[in-house]
Amino acid sequence: MQAISAVVLKQAEEPQPDSPVTKPSRERAASVVAPRASPADPQLFERLRQLRTELAEEEGVAAFVIFHDKTLKAIAGHKPVTPAALLEIPGIGALKAER
């Protein structure tokens, strides 16, 4: 025969209406993102998408594994010319920059 044990649940306290609720600031999150560049070059963006599709097919992975559209748009807008500049693009780490 099994013994029965009691479980005690504590009810979470409701926030007081007069106390300020702090929310994460978008300004802090935005400071991590690379500075804005000119709008993405549409022709360059499309060419980057084609290259990404080719690489994904060769490697047998989904295209977003190579780069997300947001990253391709950032590349097309920033047009980095050095490996260091490429590393400043969100979504590109050392491994992807090397590849």
Note the pTM of the prediction, 2 decimals. 0.60
Q: What is the pLDDT of residues 75-88, one digit of tens each?
A: 999 999 999 999 99
Identify the pLDDT of residue 23: 53
pLDDT of residue 70: 95
Instruction: Enter the CATH code of domain 38-98.
Output: 1.10.150.80
Does the structure show a pLDDT above 90 at 33? Answer: no
| Average pLDDT value for residue range 43-49 | 95
Phi, psi dihedrals of residue 93, rounded to the nearest 5°: -105, -175
> Rounded to an integer, what distance in angstroms lies between the CA atom of residue 71 and that of residue 3?
57
